[in-house]
Structures are given as structure tokens and as C-alpha cells.
Amino acid sequence: MKSQITVACGYCHGTGKIPFTGIYAKTLRLLNSQTEAINGAALAKLAGCAPTSMCNRLVALERLGLATSARFGRERLWTSNSKK
């Protein structure tokens, strides 16, 4: 019987974890600093970026389980799941 060949990932070097940096980390820090739920356009104004790019970042954070959204009428309000 052949033994299974295993190769460590070149990105995480076999740890299964990667550093959380860049624009997503900045977006999460900004979302963590909010005391109440906030919509994407208001968060984009605080970050100084386009509302579309902020909403895309927030959706990515939601897919990772780090943010939660809820619809209120026409707005989608965002909160962080990782507040400490």
C-alpha cells in the first residue's frame, strides 16, 4: 500500500492559518470601533472609499463570519462579530 504524500501549503506553511491584513483588517477595525449598527455608505464615508467597495468588503467579512448584516427597509446595517 502506498503512503499518502502530503505537501505543506506555500502560503500558510502548513499551519492552516494566514495573517489577516490589508483592507479587510482595516475595515474590520473600523466596524469594531462602531458602537451601533452602521450602513455601508456611512462606513465608506468614514473610511474615505467608495460605497460599492466598502459593501464588497463587508460582504467578504460576512462570508468569513466576522460581520453580520440585517435589512431595515432599504438599508442593510452591519455589525461586527469579533468585538472584544
**pLDDT tens digits, 35-84:** 999 999 999 999 999 999 999 999 999 998 899 999 999 999 999 987 65
Q: Which residues pair with residue 45 across a beta bridge?
A: none
Q: Euclidean distance between the first and final Cα of the chain, in Å? A: 50
In a domain, 40, yes or no: yes
pLDDT band at 18 (very low <50, low <70, confident <90, very high): confident
Q: What is the pLDDT of residue 83?
A: 67
C-alpha cell at 78: 452591519
> 67 in helix, strand or coil?
strand
- Domain around 66: 23-80
Residue 5 pLDDT > 80: no
Contact, 81 vs 33, CB < 8 A? no
In a domain, 74, yes or no: yes
DSSP state of 74: T
- Number of domains within the chain: 1
Q: What is the pLDDT of residue 53?
A: 95
In a domain, 5, yes or no: no
